[in-house]
Amino acid sequence: MKVDYANSPECLNDLSAGQQAVLINWIRDVLVTAERVYTPNSYIMKHDFEREPEGFYVTNGMFKGAMLKAGFAPVNPREVNWRFRVKPAWELCAWERRRLGIYSRFRLMRDRWRGPGYVVAMRNQYRRIVEHDAACRREQRLKLLVLRGAECAEIIMDTDPAGYRLTDTATTEITALFDRLNPSGRNWSITNNCLAVIRRVPAHQAEDVAEKLVEIAQGCPAGTTGDSGVSATGEFPQ
């Protein structure tokens, strides 16, 4: 069967080296080899990638080429939409399987947050948000979530899952950081040396802010409580 160029794995070379790396790394993060053939094919999986926060448009051929580079061989290379013997790198829980029986989107999304210490998600990625919260509580880790929009982001940090509170010194640092981003104080709040939330952060600055929050939180020893226990500093508009 003659395959048009858009469906040819050769068109992977039309992406820049950086884009290829992002796509290939995503595939390696979310897929592992399996004995059975995975029902979603290359065309369906490419849409999963495009919905990722770091995703971008790719053709079916680009995705097929990236799968080859990632080390996955197609079941039948003569097919237009390739199928692979792979499965998601983590098992879905029962309610996720039921939900995905109706809504097939986001089946491959996986939180890759343990390195940077925070997760980036879109507001409609409910499964990702819930899983991050559950993982933080299960592993007793700092919860730090960046909810991205087209132009602005909301950042939520909670030390409660990790079992400690911010020191007053750390709270003061976060207050200064938030105040620089929003001097009016109407879009941020810090509560009980524990929960810090800021809205309307420019999207291009959101991850820099998250990295700074991780750095501040890491300076608080586990088991620490606030020096005075007083920390409410900003307020949201009613």
Which regions in the chain score pLDDT beneath 70?
A: 1-3, 90-115, 221-238
Percent of the chain at pLDDT above 90? 53
Strand partners, 191: 195
Residue 215: predicted pLDDT? 94
Question: Could you give the dihedral angle defined by the CA atoms of residues 20, 129, 229 and 190, in that order, rounded to the nearest 10 degrees?
Answer: 70
Question: How far is it, in rounded angstroms, from Cα 37 to Cα 81?
Answer: 13
How many C-beta neighbours within 10 Å does residue 215 have? Answer: 11
Residue 103: φ, ψ to 5°: -110, 115
Residue 99: predicted pLDDT? 61
- Tens digit of pLDDT for each residue in 204-231? 899 999 999 999 998 886 555 544 444 4
Q: Where are the domains of the chain?
A: 5-100, 119-218
- Tens digit of pLDDT for each residue in 97-132? 666 555 554 566 555 566 678 888 888 777 778 888
Residue 220: predicted pLDDT? 84
Residue 235: predicted pLDDT? 53
Residues whose CB is less than 8 angstroms from the CB of residue 65 and which lie 6 or more positions away in sequence, other chains included: 8, 9, 10, 11, 12, 13
CATH 3.10.310 assigned to domain 119-218? The reply is yes
**For residue 145, what is the enclosing H or E element?**
strand 143-148
How much is the pTM? 0.59
